[in-house]
């Protein structure tokens, strides 16, 4: 019993020495905070705290934080919405009567994006949507510090069409369909 | 005429008592605010964090903000609680610790109350704390609270034995239970003959050498026992199984909130200070200076006095409180059986041993 007790005292003293070293080591801050630096893991002493809004940790430009959509490159294929495990992407498409343009990588656009909403409050930052996107128009950015007072503000809207435009395109498509039907029945 | 005079004297008498009580309470409150802040800072630094930083410069107003919040909060009593016990428990817990302060000497000739049985009184009144804890746990009608308070009582009652024996070992050397006299006999103001380690006359040298732990070196062992037992008595890590956050939510104070919780918290920190101060008074020279007289440099004479006394008491006690915090943030919690094994199988025999040595010391060395 006394042997165990002496052992306990020795190990307790070792532990106390470790914490004391850290207590006094806290006088300085851990300088290197950029994980890309080679010496990042050499820093073992000092305070690790990053005093967030005042200080920020350097993060790469291609970090996996909030989503962004380059709507001009989007072919409205709906793959991202299907891939999303938490269903935070809502897409509504309107068919065009003809080819409406090309994306920057040469894909042909045949659909208008009437609605392209991403609810960042639901998003779990898995990045699956960016993987399936054929034109790489949906990407993750280095933006993470976005607090809103109203939950609805966290639903980002990427579609750039006004309701009138959507109505008009819908009408055009219905008319086109009707004309096609009429041509068929002749 | 005579009647009025004696009435006035009576009023003055009670006013003095109220004033002393108010000063002590003010001190405990201020100490708690400071101690909670430093505890959080020490915890932060030990874990490579910064601790509170937002409220005030370096977070210095954090605990003040916390207590303001607690004061404003509503009293919530669980529907199934025993209302009377639940409400009375924080009061009893705090009063038990608060009363302990009444006999503690702060400086030469300065103690709130001079009691010939001072040390006995302190040990006795601290034990009342256990009743308060049990009332809190039972009154809450919550299984976690009850488990916590059962553990607290088991622990406090057990650890009172080694801590009491360690104190008795010191009392056998000092031959008095009066805390004022215990302190006086550890420095240059003594009327007795003091021997360092039983051989070297240090009556006029004083300082560190005249402290009880150095007058009779085996009291160093007694002090270590007392220190460990005192950690257990104020329910601090590594003996915090009554609160054991990870097992028992908050232990006996799970159901408490607002000002009631604030009082339990206040008692906890006051208890830390009190047990540290008992250790300092009985073993580490109390308000006596650690600096000895060296030839012409009368360091001990220069650093003895009312203000110096308060300074030395405070700095020694705060140092011990700091060590308590340091230990808390280093050592993991003991299991209940380990706790009891340490108390009954190690500390109690060692305390008896140091008591026996005290007896021998008294008879053979100090004669």
- Closest by Cα among B93, B103, B190 to B148: B93
Choose the weakest-confidence range: B19-23, B54-58, B65-69, B244-248: B244-248
- What average pLDDT does this structure show over B344-357? 90
- Closest by Cα among A47, A15, A6, A45 to B327: A15
- pLDDT band, residue B2 (cuts 50/70/90): low
Residue B333: pLDDT over 70: yes
- pLDDT band, residue B351 (cuts 50/70/90): very high
Residue B72: pLDDT over 80: yes
CA distance B262 to B68: 10
Helices (H), B115-257: 118-140, 143-174, 179-184, 212-215, 218-233, 245-248
- Closest by Cα among B348, B335, B325 to B43: B325
CB-based contact B350:B221 (threshold 8 Å): yes
Residue A10's pLDDT is 92
Residue B323: Cβ-neighbour burial (10 angstroms; 0-12, 13-18, 19+): middle
CA distance B173 to B222: 12
Residue A86's pLDDT is 93
| Any B CB within 8 A of A44 CB | no
Query: From B350, which residue of chain A is nearest by alpha-carbon distance?
Result: A2
Contact residues, chain B, for A45 at CB < 8 Å: 48
Go through chain B and tell me how many residues it has. 367
Q: Nearest C-alpha of chain B: how many angstroms from A149?
A: 21
DSSP conformational letter for B55: S
Per cent of chain B over pLDDT 90 is: 20
CB-based contact B334:B342 (threshold 8 Å): yes
pLDDT digits (tens, 9 = 90+) for B275-285: 999 999 999 88
Q: Which residues contact A90 (CB under 8 A, 6 or more apart)?
A: A81, A115, A116, A117, A118, A119
Contact A47 B48 (CB under 8 A): yes
- What average pLDDT does this structure show over B118-137? 88
> How far is C-alpha B178 from the chain's CA centre?
17
pLDDT digits (tens, 9 = 90+) for A119-128: 998 999 998 9
What's the CA angle centered on B275, arms B274 and B278, to 5 degrees?
Answer: 85
Instruction: Please name the member of A15, A20, A22 whose beta carbon is closest to the beta carbon of B331.
Output: A15
Q: Nearest C-alpha of chain B: how many angstroms from A147?
A: 19
Residue B286's pLDDT is 83
Residue A184's pLDDT is 86
CA distance B281 to B103: 11
Residue A130: pLDDT over 60: yes
- pLDDT band, residue B82 (cuts 50/70/90): confident
Contact residues, chain A, for B326 at CB < 8 Å: 16, 19-20, 23
- Closest by Cα among B286, B78, B112, B254 to B186: B286
CB-based contact A172:A100 (threshold 8 Å): no
Residue A17's pLDDT is 92
Contact A26 B330 (CB under 8 A): no
- Closest by Cα among B64, B28, B292, B343 to B186: B292
Contact A1 B45 (CB under 8 A): no
Q: Nearest C-alpha of chain B: how many angstroms from A56?
A: 16
Contact residues, chain B, for A2 at CB < 8 Å: 346
Contact A51 B345 (CB under 8 A): no
Residue A131's pLDDT is 92
Q: Which helix (H) or strand (E) holds B275?
A: helix B258-283
Residue B199's pLDDT is 76
Residue B319's pLDDT is 93
Q: Which helix (H) or strand (E) holds A67?
A: strand A67-69
DSSP conformational letter for A66: S
A:50-79 residues touching chain B, CB 8 A cutoff: 51
- Closest by Cα among B322, B213, B212 to B272: B322
Mean pLDDT of chain B: 86
Most B CBs within 10 Å, among A26, A33, A48, to test the B interface:
A26
pLDDT digits (tens, 9 = 90+) for A81-113: 999 999 999 999 888 888 888 888 888 888 888
> How far is C-alpha A8 from the chain's CA centre?
50
What ipTM score was computed for the predicted complex, to two decimals? 0.76
Choose the weakest-confidence range: B1-10, B307-316, B333-342: B1-10
pLDDT digits (tens, 9 = 90+) for B186-214: 888 877 777 777 777 777 787 788 888 88
Pairwise pLDDT comparison (A166 vs B114), residue with the higher score: A166
pLDDT digits (tens, 9 = 90+) for B242-255: 777 777 777 788 88
Contact B48 A26 (CB under 8 A): yes
Contact A26 B45 (CB under 8 A): yes
Residue A48's pLDDT is 83
Instruction: Please name the member of A12, A19, A46 whose beta carbon is closest to the beta carbon of B46.
Output: A19
Residue B307: pLDDT over 90: no
Residue B292: pLDDT over 60: yes
Residue A148's pLDDT is 86
Contact B330 A25 (CB under 8 A): no
DSSP three-state, residue B281: helix
Contact residues, chain A, for B46 at CB < 8 Å: 19, 22-23, 26
CA distance B102 to B117: 12
Most B CBs within 10 Å, among A5, A13, A19, to test the B interface:
A19
CB-based contact B265:B243 (threshold 8 Å): no
Contact residues, chain B, for A14 at CB < 8 Å: none
CA distance B186 to A16: 30
Give Cα separations from B68 to B61, B190, B298 (angstroms): 11, 46, 47
DSSP three-state, residue A157: strand
- pLDDT band, residue B182 (cuts 50/70/90): confident
- What six digits make up the tokens of B352? 């008896």
Instruction: Please name the member of A23, A45, A48 whose beta carbon is closest to the beta carbon of B42.
Output: A23
pTM of the model: 0.82
- What average pLDDT does this structure show over B167-179? 88
Residue B367's pLDDT is 66
Residue B321's pLDDT is 92
| Any B CB within 8 A of A48 CB | yes
CA distance A144 to A166: 32
pLDDT digits (tens, 9 = 90+) for A10-51: 998 999 998 998 888 888 877 767 777 787 777 777 888 888
Size of interface A-B (CB pairs under 8 A): 50
Residue A85's pLDDT is 93
Collect all residues from B whose CB is shorter than 8 A from any CB in A: 42, 44-50, 53, 326-327, 329-331, 341-342, 345-346
């Amino acid at each position: 019993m006394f042997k165990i007790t002496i052992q306990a005292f020795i190990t307790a003293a070792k532990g106390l020495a470790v914490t004391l070293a850290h207590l006094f080591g806290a006088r300085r801050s851990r300088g290197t905070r950029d994980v890309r630096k080679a010496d990042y893991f050499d820093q073992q002493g000092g305070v690790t705290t990053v005093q967030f809004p005042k200080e920020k940790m350097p993060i790469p430009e291609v970090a996996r934080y909030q989503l962004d959509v380059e709507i001009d490159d989007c072919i409205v294929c709906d793959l991202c919405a299907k891939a999303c495990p938490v269903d935070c992407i809502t897409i509504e498409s309107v068919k065009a009567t003809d080819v409406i343009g090309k994306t920057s990588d040469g894909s042909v656009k045949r659909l208008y994006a009437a609605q392209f909403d991403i609810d960042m409050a639901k998003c779990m930052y898995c990045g699956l949507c960016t993987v399936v996107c054929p034109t790489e128009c949906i990407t993750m950015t280095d933006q993470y510090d976005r607090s809103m007072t109203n939950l609805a503000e966290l639903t980002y809207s990427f579609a750039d069409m006004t309701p009138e435009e959507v109505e008009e395109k819908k009408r055009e498509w219905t008319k086109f369909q009707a004309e096609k039907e009429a041509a068929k029945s002749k | 005429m005579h009647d009025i005079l004696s009435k006035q004297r009576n009023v003055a008498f009670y006013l003095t008592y109220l004033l002393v009580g108010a000063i002590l309470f003010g001190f405990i409150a201020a100490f708690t605010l400071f101690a909670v802040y430093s505890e959080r800072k020490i915890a932060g630094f030990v874990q490579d964090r910064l601790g509170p930083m937002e409220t005030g410069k370096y977070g210095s107003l954090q605990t003040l903000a916390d207590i303001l919040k607690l004061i404003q909060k509503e009293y919530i009593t669980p529907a199934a609680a025993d209302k009377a016990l639940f409400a009375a428990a924080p009061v009893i817990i705090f009063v038990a610790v608060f009363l302990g302060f009444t006999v503690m000497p702060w400086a030469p000739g300065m103690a709130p109350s001079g009691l010939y049985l001072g040390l006995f009184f302190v040990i006795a009144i601290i034990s009342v704390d256990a009743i308060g804890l049990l009332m809190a746990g039972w009154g809450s009608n919550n299984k976690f609270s009850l488990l916590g308070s059962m553990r607290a009582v088991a622990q406090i009652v057990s650890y009172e034995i080694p801590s009491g024996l360690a104190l008795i070992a010191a009392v056998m050397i000092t031959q008095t239970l009066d805390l004022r006299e215990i302190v006086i006999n550890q420095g240059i103001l003594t009327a007795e003959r003091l021997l360092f380690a039983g051989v070297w006359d240090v009556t006029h040298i004083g300082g560190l050498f005249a402290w009880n732990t150095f007058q009779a070196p085996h009291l160093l062992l007694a002090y270590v026992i007392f220190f460990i037992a005192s950690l257990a008595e104020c329910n601090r890590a590594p003996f915090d199984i009554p609160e054991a956050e990870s097992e028992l939510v908050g232990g006996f104070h799970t159901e408490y909130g607002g000002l009631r919780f604030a009082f339990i918290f206040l008692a906890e920190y006051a208890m830390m200070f009190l047990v540290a101060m008992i250790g300092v008074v009985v073993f580490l020279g109390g308000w006596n200076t650690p600096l000895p007289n060296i030839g012409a440099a009368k360091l001990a004479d220069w650093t003895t006095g009312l203000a110096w006394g308060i300074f030395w008491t405070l700095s020694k006690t705060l140092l011990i409180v700091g060590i308590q915090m340091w230990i808390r943030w280093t050592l993991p919690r003991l299991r209940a059986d380990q706790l009891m094994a340490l108390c009954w199988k190690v500390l109690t025999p060692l305390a008896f041993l140091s008591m026996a040595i005290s007896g021998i010391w008294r008879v053979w060395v100090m004669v």
